[in-house]
């Protein structure tokens, strides 16, 4: 088996191709986000156009670079070292794009986004764009450059040099270096990764296993998908380093079913790394062995909990186990196991590749380094951004995300999935560090998947949706969880229908207190969102209960649609009226003898004609109390 | 690797479970599909994925074969099939529309889309139309939130959608067209 020096000597042709040293190179970013907007067709059409024009140009697929809002993104590199990014290159534009950029040599055109690493051909550098300049792309540095289905590309970019360096050190030295970086579990716990590895190293069990949690179930988060799809070898490298440091020879990557491309790419990457002798019986030509197995989940949110994940790997239902024993003592099939998130391994691998001194250059004293964040919901630029720890949420939201679209105002931040709660506008001024979030009563910073809400979003509506989701995904072991989430959903749904009662607040508090006795995080934190809503959005919740009014006009039972028939007959609405008649659910399905179904379709098409009104008169007082049981104070 | 932990979990002599496996064509096919999978290696989900990929669903008669191959009690295999939302026990519809349940889609009007889907097909999430042409499925966020709100038609992202777009989409799908 080759050692690292031999391995990197073999990939010289890949290095030349990636750097476009011999001929220009067009690279189309292909990942799940860009495929959704037709990047595969763009790639095929560009290939066709290059061939038709008889150009001597390499056309490659590369991983995505996180700029979801700009997809499909295409990079054109020239032998002089210029690298220019183009955005929104739609499949239909491909032929014209090739003509403009490669034949007519017009670098500045309708698709131009910016030049990477300094201006080129009159195109201003990417760093002129504030959302790009604010980022410190370290983990994401290799994303969007190389083909994730080709291991040699990544070796040419320096992958596995961190593993080679780790293998030249002792286990204790590796753990000391990772601990020195203070990198915390990036799944949301922020438990020091180095210390966790050391637990496994000193655990008396044998054999040991390294487990990667790639079951990123939190809605609105795709940071792990970024790594798996666009830099799979960084994950393999991080896991192999963990395996060496902790004395484990077996690794499992548990990836969720919803990432089919990620599964395909990580499987291929593992296969290729084995074929190159990077992992396997002899890691990079040393005595160390490390095998990796990719396990594909099948759609279960609770498998993202570490013991649920282990149960799922062990041939069965992914129900979280009762602890102790903890995974380090008895994990996958009784092997002592270390479970970390994808980004934890990625970050630890980065530390080993570049050294802890470089890692701690950015970030804060207690949380050095960077973290990847995805932002979605009410933002103008949806995407994945890498920022130093401690950057404020405001900078992420306003600079990277471009603020709320259509003149809306920021209302709330929902960081990291339904279990982590919701925070009002002062959250914008928090530095993104777990300690800052814990001070405010949040569990932690979360896994980096931030969802933004604006003033047109209803907190109660979101709570009901999350509670329903958590009920649906409860594994069913603990009565507190499966019964509690069900009860919470019922109460919220009733409030949304206009049946809110004074006692509901107490009931929800009681549920929150009771759910704490559940076995795993899923139950323990299931009502966090509602508890936060009661604390920080009390006005809005009370308005729903007492005045039966939804200020955002979202709760279906509290609003009604009213058509202004006179306005509807105005000629300027004729087209929209025709379209509304065409898509009216009533007309289409022939349901409910012509009575309006309140289905929203016509309001969407004719917002001025079909308006949303409060269903109930203002200030009606609380709805009649049916059950007068008040829960005891806790 | 046959790990002792597996035996501990099951706790009884297991061969008695697998006495009478009906020898049909499907069972023989399942045996082929399971090639290379090992007991005690975390291969159950992979086995079920392969079977579902081949048949489109996991037929009941595949259970004994999987159980025997992986040295698991059949109840454990059945438990896994019913636990995970992606495994289906009945044949899939010709076109499967997955509705994204993620927060970004929700905030941008995902519920209206769901309502249109359910009203126009007459099915709830997880059900198929009686002619099995169209089925609805609860999808989990895959992080293509720049296209929110969205649905996936046989795995292909369609979005961003308005409620009116969804009406058109379902009409098209009912006529057998593709988005």
Number of separate domains in chain B? 2
Residues paired with residue A431 on neighbouring β-strands, in sequence order? A392
Residue ending a domain, choose from B83, B114, B140: B83
Q: How far is CA A19 from CA A58, A353, A420, A465, B169, in A?
A: 11, 21, 43, 48, 44
Low-confidence ranges of chain A (pLDDT < 50): 624-634
Instruction: Band the pLDDT of B13: cuts 50, 70, 90.
Output: very low
Tell me how far apart the alpha carbons of residues A540 and A534 are, in angstroms, rounded to a whole number. 9
In this structure, the strands spanning A250-255 and A208-214 are parallel
pLDDT of residue A634: 35
Task: Provide the domain limits for residue B22.
Answer: 4-83
Q: Is the peptide bond before B114 cis (omega within 30 degrees of 0)?
A: no
State the DSSP code for A324.
S
| Same domain, residue pair B78 and B128 | no
3-class SS at A83?
Answer: strand
- Same domain for B73 and B105? no
Domain ranges of chain A: 17-129, 159-359, 370-454, 565-608
Q: What is the pLDDT of residue B21?
A: 60
Please answer whether residues A337 and A209 qualify as being in contact, where contact means their C-beta atoms are separated by less than 8 angstroms: yes
Residue burial A113-127, b: 16+ Cβ < 10 Å; e: rest: bbbbeeebbebebbb
Q: Does B111 touch chain A (CB under 8 A)?
A: yes
Distance between alpha carbon A130 and the CA centroid of its chain, in Å? 22
CATH 3.10.20.600 corresponds to the domain A370-454? yes
Q: Is residue B62 domain-shared with residue B112, that is, in the same domain? A: no
pLDDT of residue A593: 64
Same domain, B99 and B162: yes
Single residue among B35, B61, B83 that ends a domain in this structure? B83
Query: Under DSSP, is residue A386 helix (H, G, I), strand (E, B) or coil?
Result: strand
* Stretch 149-178 of chain B: residues touching chain A, C-beta under 8 Å: 150, 155, 157, 159, 162-164, 167-168, 171
**Contact call for B84 and A299, based on CB within 8 A:** yes
State how far the Cα of A225 lies from the Cα of A576, in Å rounded to an integer: 40
**B79 and A317: CB-CB below 8 Å?**
yes
Helix (H, G, I), strand (E, B) or coil at B29: helix
Residue B129, chain A, CB below 8 Å: the answer is no
Question: What pLDDT score was predicted for residue A579?
Answer: 87
Q: ipTM value of the model?
A: 0.91
Q: In terms of CATH, what superfamily is A159-359?
A: NADH-ubiquinone oxidoreductase 51kDa subunit (3.40.50.11540)
| Assigned domain for B89 exists | no
Given B83, B114, B133, which residue is the final one in a domain? B83
For residue B150, the domain's CATH number is: 3.40.30.10
Q: What is the pLDDT of residues B56-114, one digit of tens each?
A: 999 988 998 999 999 999 999 999 999 999 999 999 999 999 999 999 999 999 999 99
Task: Name the 3-class secondary structure at A402.
Answer: coil
Closest residue, chain B, to A38 (C-alpha): B157
Cis ω for the linkage preceding B149 (within 30 of 0): yes
Q: What is the DSSP string of A182-229?
A: T-B-TTTT--BHHHHHHHHHH---SSEEEEEEE---STT--HHHHHHH
Q: Where are the beta strands (DSSP E) in A30-186?
A: 58-62, 74-77, 83-86, 112-115
The pLDDT value recorded for residue B84 is 95
Mind telling me how many Å the CA of B24 is from chain A's nearest CA?
25
**How high is the pLDDT of residue A619?**
56
Segment B151-159 mean pLDDT: 94
Residues of B in contact with A385 (CB under 8 A): none
Q: Tell whether the model's pLDDT for residue B15 goes beyond 60.
A: no
pLDDT of residue B91: 93
Contact B80 A317 (CB under 8 A): yes
pLDDT of residue A442: 85
Q: Are A139 and A129 in contact (CB under 8 A)?
A: no
> Do B164 and A382 make contact, defined as CB atoms within 8 angstroms?
no
pLDDT in tens, A245-294: 999 999 999 999 999 999 999 999 999 999 999 999 999 999 999 999 99
B61 upstream amide cis, omega within 30 of 0 = no
Question: Do the bridges between strand B134-139 and strand B95-100 make them parallel or antiparallel, or are there none, so unpaired?
Answer: parallel
Q: Are residues B46 and B107 in the same domain?
A: no
Superfamily, domain A17-129: Glutaredoxin (3.40.30.10)
Determine whether the interchain pair A462/B103 forms a contact, defined as Cβ–Cβ distance below 8 Å.
yes
Model confidence band, residue B177 (pLDDT cutoffs 50, 70, 90): confident
B107 and B78 in a common domain: no
Residue A423 · residue A442 · CB < 8 Å? yes
Q: Residues B55, B100: one domain?
A: no
Neighbours of A170 (CB within 10 A): 11
What is the distance between the alpha carbons of residues A452 and A435, in angstroms, rounded to a whole number? Answer: 21
Rounded-to-integer distance, Cα A591 and Cα A585, Å: 8
Judged on CB neighbours under 10 Å (0-12, 13-18, 19+), A261 is middle
Is A300 in contact with B84 (Cβ distance < 8 A)?
Answer: yes
Per the CB < 8 A criterion, the answer to whether A118 and A80 are in contact is no
Q: Nearest C-alpha of chain A: how many angstroms from B30?
A: 17
Report which of A231, A416, A220 is spatially closest to residue B142, judged by C-alpha positions: A220
């Amino acid at each position: 088996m080759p050692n690292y020096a031999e391995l990197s000597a073999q990939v010289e042709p890949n290095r030349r191709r990636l750097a476009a040293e011999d001929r220009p190179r067009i690279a189309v970013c292909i990942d799940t986000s860009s495929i959704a907007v037709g990047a595969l067709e763009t790639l095929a059409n560009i290939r066709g156009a290059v061939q038709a024009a008889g150009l001597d140009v390499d056309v490659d697929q590369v991983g995505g670079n996180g700029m979801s809002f700009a997809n499909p993104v295409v990079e054109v590199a020239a032998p002089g070292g210029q690298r220019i990014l183009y955005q929104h290159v739609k499949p239909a534009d491909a032929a014209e794009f090739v003509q403009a950029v490669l034949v007519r040599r017009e670098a500045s055109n309708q698709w131009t986004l910016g030049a990477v690493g300094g201006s080129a051909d009159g195109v201003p550098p990417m760093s002129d764009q504030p959302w790009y300049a604010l980022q410190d792309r370290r983990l994401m540095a290799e994303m969007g450059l190389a083909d994730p289905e080709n291991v040699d590309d990544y070796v040419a970019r320096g992958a596995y040099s961190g593993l080679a360096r780790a293998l030249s050190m002792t286990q204790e030295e590796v753990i000391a270096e990772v601990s020195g970086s203070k990198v915390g579990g990036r799944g949301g716990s922020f438990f020091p990764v180095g210390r966790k590895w050391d637990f496994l190293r000193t655990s008396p069990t044998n054999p040991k296993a390294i487990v990667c949690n790639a079951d990123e179930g939190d809605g609105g988060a795709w940071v792990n998908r970024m790594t798996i799809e666009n830099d799979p070898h960084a994950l393999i490298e991080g896991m192999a380093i963990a395996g060496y440091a902790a004395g484990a020879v077996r690794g499992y990557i548990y990836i969720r079913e919803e990432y089919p491309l990620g599964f395909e790419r990580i499987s291929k990457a593992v296969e290729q790394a084995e074929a190159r002798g990077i992992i396997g019986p002899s890691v990079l030509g040393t005595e160390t062995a490390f095998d990796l197995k990719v396990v594909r989940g099948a759609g279960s949110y609770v498998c993202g909990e570490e013991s649920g994940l282990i149960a799922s790997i062990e041939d069965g239902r992914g129900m979280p186990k009762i602890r102790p024993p903890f995974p380090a003592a008895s994990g996958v099939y009784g092997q002592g196991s270390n479970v970390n998130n994808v980004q934890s391994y990625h970050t630890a691998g980065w530390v080993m590749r570049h050294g802890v001194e470089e890692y701690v250059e950015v970030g804060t004293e207690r949380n050095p380094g960077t973290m990847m964040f995805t932002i979605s919901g009410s933002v103008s630029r949806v995407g994945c951004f890498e920022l130093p720890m401690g950057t404020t949420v405001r900078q992420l939201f306003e600079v990277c995300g471009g603020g709320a679209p259509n003149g809306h105002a920021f209302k709330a931040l929902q960081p990291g999935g339904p279990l982590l709660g919701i925070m009002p506008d002062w959250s914008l001024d928090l530095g993104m560090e777990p300690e800052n979030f814990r001070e405010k009563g949040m569990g932690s910073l979360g896994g980096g998947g931030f969802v933004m809400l604006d003033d047109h979003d209803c907190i109660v509506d979101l709570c009901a949706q999350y509670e329903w989701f958590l009920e649906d995904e409860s594994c069913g072991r603990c009565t507190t969880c499966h019964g509690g989430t069900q009860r919470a959903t019922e109460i919220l749904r009733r409030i949304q229908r206009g049946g809110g009662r004074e006692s509901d607040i107490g009931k929800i508090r009681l549920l929150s207190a009771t759910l704490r006795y559940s076995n795993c995080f899923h139950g323990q934190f299931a009502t966090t969102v509602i508890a936060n809503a009661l604390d920080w959005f009390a006005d809005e919740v009370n308005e729903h209960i007492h005045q039966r009014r939804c200020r955002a006009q979202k709760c279906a039972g509290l609003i009604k649609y009213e058509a202004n028939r006179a306005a509807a007959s105005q000629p300027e609405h004729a087209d929209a009226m025709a379209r509304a008649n065409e898509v009216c659910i009533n007309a289409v399905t022939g349901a409910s003898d012509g009575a309006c179904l309140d289905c929203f379709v016509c309001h969407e098409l004719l917002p001025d004609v079909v308006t949303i009104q409060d269903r109930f008169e203002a200030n009606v007082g609380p709805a009649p109390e049916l059950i007068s049981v008040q829960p005891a104070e806790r | 690797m046959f790990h002792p932990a597996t035996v501990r979990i099951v706790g009884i002599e297991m061969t008695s479970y697998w006495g009478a496996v009906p020898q049909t064509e499907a069972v023989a096919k399942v045996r082929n599909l399971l090639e290379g999978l090992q007991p005690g290696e975390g291969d159950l989900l992979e086995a079920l994925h392969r079977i579902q990929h081949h048949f489109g669903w996991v037929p009941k008669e595949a259970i004994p074969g999987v159980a025997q191959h992986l040295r698991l009690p059949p109840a454990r295999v059945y438990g896994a099939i019913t636990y995970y939302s992606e495994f289906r026990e009945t044949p899939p519809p010709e076109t499967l529309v997955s509705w994204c349940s993620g927060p970004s889609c929700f905030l941008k009007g995902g519920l209206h889309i769901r309502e249109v889907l359910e009203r126009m097909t007459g099915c709830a999430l997880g059900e198929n139309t009686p002619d099995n042409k169209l089925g609805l499925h609860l999808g989990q966020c895959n992080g293509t939130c720049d296209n929110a709100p969205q649905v996936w038609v046989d795995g292909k992202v369609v979005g961003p959608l308005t409620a009116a777009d969804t009406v058109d989409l379902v009409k098209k799908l009912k006529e057998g067209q593709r988005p």
